[in-house]
């Protein structure tokens, strides 16, 4: 038996609705014909017969429509019957008897028009709603599955082909669980089964294989579907492709792991802290540098763990000056867990991570570097053999001593001395013995000098003592007394590699400002006094040539 489909029904609906006004016009025409039948020509009669036939056919079509309402069927039947009745009346000669029923038909037809118009509008609205729904489902990127309670697939969004490579038609014949990654299948099967028990889930992530063999990631959510009686009729599942996000997360995780591996293997200590300074990260190098385990450092503060008390304020100031994206490098004195201090270079920078401020620092133990720097600086101003200040230090120090003496109207003295017969020691006992003699002489000169005096080795066997802050009236006497102590110290016997020997020194004295107004002239004056001592027989003290204190 033939059954009407939805397209055929829609066509007949539109046909019947379209000819509704024609029905009324036909009824009016038949009514006029019934009144004036005596004057109608044969052509007019033929036209009326054709109109009546069309109305009859319309009635048959309307009656066959499965979804036609009873009122509509009756209306069309009445229209057609009345028209045929009018023709029959004409043929019998009693046409006017049917004018009354035809008038009722026309009135009935007019009353049907508003209802038909409203039905047409409602049908058009349904068609438009279905068109919009189809547009949405055809263009949605997520995939929506609808299953019945028999676990059979009832509908799937067309986007399934873009996600899996399989068409919607093919999916009705597939078991989609076979495409899920074996490690994820048991978990997802349990979730999908729970849907048919009235439970929901969201945020599940799983892997599956596409038609082309590519592995992709999905985010999934599911919920039961209920009818108006709150009876579960099926389930709905929504899957979204998150492959790009998972790949980005993987790259980020690999980057974090790589960064962490670098941080853990670097020789520099790495410390990360919250905005309030509470330590959150502490690598192995930090454990070694501070002799503090990670478990002990986490939760403590940067200011408590890192700086020695002398550098606490320096670190506080550096942290206070940091801004997100900014950095600073400082050198400070840090301390180990046992309190041992050491020099450290700290590179600080601040970041915003997930809306929170993070303080980060790389720390390097620079104790050895500082030692080398100090050594270089020391050698620049000290004699490498004896450790005494050298000529460079003498020039700087002597200028300051003379400047202060001018300001305070005090005096200063310069003692220039030379070891007697030093060349004989070198030639007889060797240069090693000569070096030992110079080192021992440096030690004895420090003992002879006053606490604030500067002892300098100019080079070879020549030494200088700088005496500052001397009262002008007693300057010569004080210088002479220091020279006497020098002679006393240096006349004592030396023991060099088991060899006992004795030597002396010749000393020259120059007094500022009488013997020289600047460092150079004062040094030359003291040098002249030293040579005067040598000419006098060595082992003595002489003032500068021309000095008012000279003998």
* DSSP alpha helix (H) spans, 38-180: 42-64, 70-92, 99-139, 160-164, 168-171
CA distances from 141 to 164, 240, 296 (A): 12, 8, 51
Contact present, 348 and 322 (Cβ < 8 Å)? yes
pLDDT of 268: 87
Pairing of strands 541-543, 505-512: parallel
Q: Which pLDDT score is estimated for 343? A: 94
pLDDT at 177: 84
Cα distances from 213 to residues 175, 469, 486, in angstroms, run 16, 94, 97
pLDDT at 498: 80
Residue 298, Ramachandran bin (φ over 0: left; ψ between -120 and 50: alpha; else beta)? beta
* Closest to 472 (Cα-Cα) out of 406, 526, 523: 406
SS3 (DSSP) at 270: strand
Q: Cα 365 from chain centroid?
A: 28
In this structure, what DSSP letter does residue 104 have? Answer: H
**Per-residue pLDDT in tens (0 to 9) along the chain, 551 residues:** 334 444 555 555 555 555 556 655 655 565 555 545 555 555 555 655 566 566 556 655 555 554 455 555 555 556 556 656 655 655 665 555 445 555 555 555 555 555 555 666 666 666 666 666 565 555 567 888 999 999 999 988 888 888 889 988 888 888 888 899 999 999 999 999 999 999 999 989 999 999 999 999 999 999 999 998 999 999 999 999 988 888 877 776 766 666 666 676 677 889 999 988 999 989 889 999 999 999 999 999 999 999 999 999 999 999 999 888 888 999 999 999 999 999 999 999 998 776 788 899 999 999 999 999 988 888 999 999 999 999 999 999 999 999 999 999 999 999 999 999 899 888 888 889 999 999 999 999 999 999 999 999 999 999 999 999 999 999 999 999 999 999 999 999 998 888 888 899 999 999 999 999 999 999 999 999 999 999 988 889 999 988 888 76
Q: What is the pLDDT of residue 247?
A: 82
- What's the pLDDT score for residue 194? 94
Summary count for the chain: helices (H), strands (E): 18, 17
Output 286-293 pairs: Cβ under 8 A, ≥24 positions apart.
Answer: 286/363, 289/336, 289/344, 289/363, 289/365, 290/334, 290/336, 290/337, 291/336, 291/337, 291/338, 292/336, 292/337
**In Å, how far from its chain's centre is CA 277?**
19
- Residues in CB range of 353: below 8 A, 6 or more apart: none
Contact of 226 with 242, CB cutoff 8 Å: no
Residue 165: which region, alpha, beta or left (left: phi > 0; alpha: psi -120 to 50)? Answer: left
Half-sphere exposure of 453 (CA within 13 A, CB side): 23
Q: What is the DSSP string of 202-262?
A: EEEEEEEE-TTS-EEEEEEEEEEEE-TTS-EEEEEEEEEE-HHHHHHHHHHHHHHHHHHHH
pLDDT of residue 5: 46
Strand segments (E) across 435-532? 454-459, 462-470, 494-496, 499-501, 505-512
Measure the CA–CA gap between 494 and 483, rounded to whole angstroms.
19
Domain covering 140-246 in this structure, CATH number: 3.30.450.20
Q: What is the pLDDT of residue 173?
A: 83
Q: What is the pLDDT of residue 4?
A: 43
| pLDDT score of 1 | 36
Distance CA 289, CA 295 (A): 15
CATH of 266-369, picked from 3.30.930.10, 3.40.190.10, 3.30.450.20, 3.40.640.10, is 3.30.450.20
Annotated domain spans of the chain: 6-135, 140-246, 266-369, 382-543
* Per-residue model confidence (pLDDT) at position 249: 75
Would 266-369 and 382-543 be classified into the same CATH topology? Answer: no
Q: Helix 519-535 to helix 391-408 angle, to the nearest 10 degrees?
A: 110
Is the peptide bond prior to 513 cis by the omega test (within 30 degrees of 0)? yes
Beta-bridge partner residues of 145: 156, 237
Structure tokens belonging to residue 102: 């035809």
Q: Can you tell me which residue has the tokens 């004195």?
A: 333
What are residue 362's DSSP bridge partners?
270, 347
Class of CATH domain 382-543:
alpha beta
């Amino acid at each position: 038996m033939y059954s009407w489909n939805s397209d055929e029904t829609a066509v007949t609906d539109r046909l019947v609705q379209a000819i509704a006004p024609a029905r009324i016009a036909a009824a009016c025409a038949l009514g006029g014909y019934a009144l004036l039948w005596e004057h109608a020509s044969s052509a007019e009669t033929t036209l009326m017969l054709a109109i009546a036939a069309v109305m009859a056919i319309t009635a048959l079509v309307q009656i066959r429509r499965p979804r036609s309402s009873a009122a509509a069927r009756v209306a069309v039947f009445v229209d057609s019957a009345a028209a045929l009745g009018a023709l029959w009346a004409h043929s019998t000669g009693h046409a006017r008897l049917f004018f009354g029923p035809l008038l009722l038909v026309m009135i009935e037809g007019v009353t049907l028009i508003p209802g038909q118009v409203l039905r047409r509008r409602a049908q058009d609205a349904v068609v438009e709603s279905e068109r919009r729904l189809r547009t949405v489902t055809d263009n949605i990127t997520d995939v929506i599955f609808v299953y019945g309670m028999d676990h059979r697939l009832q509908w799937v969004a067309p986007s399934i082909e873009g996600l899996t490579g399989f068409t919607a038609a093919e999916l009705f014949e597939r078991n989609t669980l076979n495409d899920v990654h074996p490690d994820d299948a048991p978990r997802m099967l349990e979730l999908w089964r729970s849907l048919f028990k009235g439970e929901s889930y969201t945020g599940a992530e799983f892997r599956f294989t596409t038609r082309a063999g590519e592995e992709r990631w999905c985010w999934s959510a599911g919920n039961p579907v209920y009818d108006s009686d709150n009876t579960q009729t099926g389930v709905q599942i929504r899957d979204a492709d998150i492959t790009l996000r998972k790949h980005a997360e993987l790259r980020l995780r690999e980057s974090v792991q790589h960064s962490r591996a670098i941080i853990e293997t670097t020789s520099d200590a790495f410390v990360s802290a919250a905005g309030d300074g509470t330590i959150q990260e502490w690598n192995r190098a930090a454990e070694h540098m501070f002799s503090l385990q990670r478990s002990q450092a986490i939760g403590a503060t940067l200011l408590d763990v890192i700086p020695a008390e002398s550098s606490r304020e320096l670190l506080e100031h550096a942290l206070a000056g940091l801004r997100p994206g900014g950095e600073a490098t400082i050198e400070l004195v840090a301390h180990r867990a046992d309190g041992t201090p050491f020099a450290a270079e700290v590179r600080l920078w601040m970041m915003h991570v997930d809306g929170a401020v993070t303080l980060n620092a790389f720390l390097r133990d620079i104790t050895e570097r500082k030692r080398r720097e100090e050594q270089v600086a020391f050698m620049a101003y000290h004699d490498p053999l004896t450790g005494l200040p050298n000529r460079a230090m003498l020039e700087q120090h002597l200028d300051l001593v003379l400047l202060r003496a001018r300001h305070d109207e005090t005096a200063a003295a310069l003692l220039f001395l030379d070891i007697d017969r030093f060349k004989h020691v070198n030639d007889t006992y060797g240069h090693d013995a000569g070096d030992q003699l110079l080192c021992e002489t440096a030690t004895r000169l420090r003992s002879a000098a006053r606490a604030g005096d500067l002892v300098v080795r100019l080079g070879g066997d020549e030494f200088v003592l700088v005496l500052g802050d001397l009262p002008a009236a007693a300057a010569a006497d004080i210088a002479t007394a220091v020279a006497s102590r020098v002679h006393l110290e240096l006349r004592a016997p030396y023991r060099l590699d088991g060899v006992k020997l004795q030597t002396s020194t010749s000393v020259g004295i120059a007094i500022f400002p009488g013997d020289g107004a600047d460092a150079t002239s004062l040094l030359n004056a003291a040098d002249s006094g030293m040579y005067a001592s040598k000419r006098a027989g060595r082992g003595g003290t002489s003032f500068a040539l021309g000095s008012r204190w000279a003998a």
